[in-house]
Structure 1
Amino acid sequence: MIAYIKGILTYIQDDSVIVDVQGVGYELKCASPFVFQDALNKEIKINTYHHVREDAQILYGFKNEDEKYLFTKLISVSGIGPKGALGILGGVDISGFVAAVEREDDKFLTSFPGVGKKTARQIILDLKGKLNTMVSIGNSDHGTGETKQDTNDELQEAQEALMSLGYTDREIKRIIPELQKENSKGTDEIIRKALALLMK
Structure 2
Amino acid sequence: MIAYIKGQLVKIQEESIIIDVNGIGYEIICANPFSFQSSINEKTMVHTYHHVREDSQILYGFKNEDEKYLFIKLISVSGIGPKGALSILGTVDIPAFVSAIEQEDDKFLTTFPGVGKKTARQMILDLKGKLNIAFSIGKDQEQESEHATVDYQTINEVQEVLKSLGYLDKEIRTILPEIRKEPKLNVDEAVRKALSLLMKN
CA-based RMSD:
1.0
Identity %: 74
Q: How many residues align?
A: 136
TM normalised by structure 1 equals 0.67
The answer for the alignment partner of 1:124 in structure 2 is 124
Q: TM-score, normalised by structure 2?
A: 0.66
Counterparts of residues 10-49 of structure 1 (less than 5 Å): 10-49=10-49
Name the aligned partner's letter for residue 112 of structure 2. F
Structure 1: which 5+ residue stretches go unaligned? 137-200
| Superposition pairs of residues 86-97 of structure 1, within 5 angstroms | 86-97=86-97
1:148 is matched with none
Q: Corresponding residue for 1:169?
A: none
Q: Which residue of 1 aligns with 2:52?
A: 52
**Offset of 1:73 from its aligned partner?**
0.3
Which runs of 5 or more structure 2 residues have no equivalent in the other structure? 137-201
Structure with higher helix content: 2
Instruction: For residues 88-127 of structure 1, give each alpha carbon's deviation from its aligned partner in whole angstroms, at most 9, with x where no partner exists.
Output: 0001111111011111111111111111100000000000
SS at structure 2 position matched to 1:49: strand
Residue 151 of structure 1 aligns with which residue? none
Q: Give the distance between the partners of 2:116 and 2:135, measured in 1 at CA.
A: 28
| Within-5 A mapping of 1:53-92 | 53-92=53-92
More relative contact order, 1 or 2 (CA 8 Å, 6+ apart)? 2
Secondary structure of the corresponding residue to residue 2 of structure 1: coil
Q: What is the rounded CA distance, in whole Å, between the counterparts of 1:44 and 1:134 in structure 2?
A: 25
Please tell me the residue identity of whatever aligns with 1:34.
F
CA distance in 1, matches of 2:109, 2:74: 12
